[in-house]
Amino acid sequence: MAINRVGVVGAGQMGNGIAHVFALAGYEVLMTDISADALEAAKALISKNLDRQVSREVISQAQKDEAFSRIGSTLTLTDLGQTDLIIEAATERETVKQAIFEDLIPHLKPDTILTSNTSSISITRLAARTDRPEKFMGFHFMNPVPVMQLVELIRGIATDKETFDTCLAVVDSLGKTASSSEDFPAFIVNRILMPMINEAIYTLYEGVGSVKSIDTSLKLGANHPMGPLELADFIGLDTCLAIMNVLHDGLADTKYRPCPLLTKYVEAGWLGRKTQRGFYDYRGDEPVPTR
């Protein structure tokens, strides 16, 4: 199948990065969101990130201008109906994702491929609520999308080979590497990463170490580029909690029980960098541990 026009649902942290890489790879991109401000902010951030690539001589000014000109935006979800591939990158709540796909279905071309950037939710279950489960799959980018090289491709039980092969070719065209995952809770990356982050939060909760000592230990002792609590703030503590709940509910194993301290931070609205407070306070010149 030929993919030329790509629709991106959601202009947040993941959506704008996805639009960025597709436009740079030569695809026409149409991005939608429920907020006009979010769309404007996304376009501004994409322009800024492309400028950064120009300054680092990763791309030329002409490539930046051409890529940016390929990105359109709309507040009307159904405008995406004539695209060849749709990537849903809305909030990590299954009911929200289901509602988006249900609204899109009557307006789609017969051969449009539907995908979700979900980091943990069942692809088979999402696909079953659509009219094309064979043309539905998981298309999970890593954050930040322009920098990270991996894309997880997740087949639902009904996904056909043509859809998978088409999405694999798209990943190759982006200059990224695909890993194929079976459709089980949290797939590969988050199945391994999130329990580690959750255990780091338990280590803090139980008083084994402070925020600073835990992050320093993993950065210097395991050669991680970012400590687990710093990484949790970067991902978003609400997203971390949502993924841990999917693991706990889907696998029914107590080793995936979300740490009560993670729940408490989310209840407080301290979600990490995006709210200026999480395991660190970002409101000053330098991040300061909150515990």
Catalytic-labelled residue, pool 116, 122, 140, 230: 140
Structural domain count of the chain = 2
* 116 and 152 together in one domain: yes
Whether the CB-CB separation of 246 and 125 falls below 8 Å is answered with no
Catalytic-labelled residue, pool 152, 181, 198, 230: 152
Binding residues are 10-15, 33, 92, 97, 119, 143, 274
* 201 and 156 together in one domain: no
What is the model's pLDDT at position 194? Answer: 97
**Which of 182, 216, 246 corresponds to the end of one domain?**
182
- How far apart (Å, rounded) are the C-alpha atoms in residues 222 and 29? 39
**Which of 182, 201, 235 corresponds to the end of one domain?**
182
What is the model's pLDDT at position 91? Answer: 87
DSSP H or E stretch at residue 125: helix 123-128
Neighbouring residues of 28: CB distance < 8 A, sequence distance ≥ 6 = 4, 5, 6, 70, 72
Assess whether 223 carries a catalytic annotation. Answer: no
* 262 and 163 together in one domain: no
* 212 and 103 together in one domain: no
* 167 and 33 together in one domain: yes
Q: What CATH number is attached to the domain comprising 261?
A: 1.10.1040.10
Give residue for tokens 């090289």. 149
* 94 and 200 together in one domain: no
* 62 and 101 together in one domain: yes
Q: What CATH number is attached to the domain comprising 30?
A: 3.40.50.720
Q: Which structure tokens are listed for 280?
A: 């660190």
What is the model's pLDDT at position 241? Answer: 96
* 247 and 116 together in one domain: no
* 226 and 132 together in one domain: no
Catalytic-labelled residue, pool 20, 190, 198, 230: 190
Per-residue pLDDT of the chain (291 residues; tens, 9 = 90+): 799 999 999 999 899 999 999 999 999 999 999 999 999 999 999 999 999 999 999 999 999 999 999 999 999 999 999 999 999 999 888 999 999 999 999 999 999 999 999 988 999 999 999 999 999 999 999 999 999 999 999 999 999 999 999 999 999 999 999 999 999 999 999 999 999 999 999 999 999 999 999 999 999 999 999 999 999 999 999 999 999 999 999 999 999 999 999 999 999 999 999 999 999 999 999 999 999
- What is the CA angle 219-272-46, rounded to 5? 95
What is the model's pLDDT at position 92? Answer: 86
Assess whether 16 carries a catalytic annotation. Answer: no
Cβ neighbours, 10 Å, residue 7? 28
Binding residues for NAD(+) are 10-15, 33, 92, 97, 119, 143, 274
Domain extent for 232: 190-289
* 18 and 76 together in one domain: yes
Global pTM value: 0.90
What is the model's pLDDT at position 1? Answer: 77
Assess whether 119 carries a catalytic annotation. Answer: yes
* 46 and 26 together in one domain: yes
**Which of 161, 182, 203 corresponds to the end of one domain?**
182
Residue closest to 183 by CA, chosen among 224, 115, 137, 149: 137
Assess whether 20 carries a catalytic annotation. Answer: no
* 165 and 69 together in one domain: yes
48 burial type by CB count under 10 A (0-12 exposed, 13-18 middle, 19+ buried): exposed
